[in-house]
Amino acid sequence: MTMHLGDDAPDFTADTTRGVINFYDWLGDSWGVLFSHPGDFTPVCTTELGTVARLKGEFDRRNTKVIGLSVDSVESHEKWEHDIGETQGTEVNFPMIADTDHKVSVLYDMIHPNASETSTIRSVFVISPDKKISLNLTYPLATGRNFPEILRAIDSLRLTAAEPVATPADWRPGDDVIIGLGVSDSDAAQHFPGYRTIKPYLRFTQDPTA
């Protein structure tokens, strides 16, 4: 099952390091990040889990819950978490799914035969509060994920879900934003006074949340 932006995020019930969870119930009205790992005790993912643990306050500030996944068992995850705490200087403070039967991996199309017949590729899914796939990234095994960039993308997703705007390249919160093409000039003048027009299709205004 190939996942596309705007698709419903598949619901599931799974065993995790925080007990059995139903994904939708666990998410509640939060945004969510589901990110997968090819297996426990892998070097790049060890650094990633430590990074996400250190950034948990940033995810919390964005009303975003984070959950990891690999095809190994809860017992294996817990042993790996001990190593992560030892080597990364922080405890893993979010749940890890034990997808031993590959149920979640198949639902989210996270096993690609060209990479491995049995292990999950390194995917990231950002899921909106209405349980839609809002962002999907796939990284190769040797390239660590950039979680500050994922936080930046979540900032953009949250803003553009609430306002009729888009964010330009390299945008960060507080930077000017682009007025959406569906907003007429008269509506733009009412909702975004002082906006500036570069081209009829390229109109900038201040970040409405700044």
CB 59 within 8 A of CB 151: yes
Instruction: With both helix axes pointing from N to C terminus, report the angle between 147-162 and 43-54 in degrees, rounded to the nearest 10.
Output: 50
Annotated catalytic residue, options 27, 45, 66, 121: 45
Residue 124: count of CB within 10 angstroms of its CB: 18
Q: What is the DSSP letter of 10?
A: P
| Alpha carbon 10 to chain centroid, angstroms | 15
For the purposes of burial, counting CB atoms within 10 Å of the CB of 95, is it exposed (0-12), middle (13-18) or buried (19 or more)?
buried
45 is catalytic: yes
CA distances from 6 to 125, 131, 162 (A): 12, 9, 16
Which residue is associated with the tokens 């330009």?
Answer: 168
For the purposes of burial, counting CB atoms within 10 Å of the CB of 114, is it exposed (0-12), middle (13-18) or buried (19 or more)?
exposed
CB 96 within 8 A of CB 16: yes
Structure tokens at 150: 């994922």
Give dist(CA 21, CA 160) in Å, integer: 30
Q: Which residues are designated catalytic? A: 45
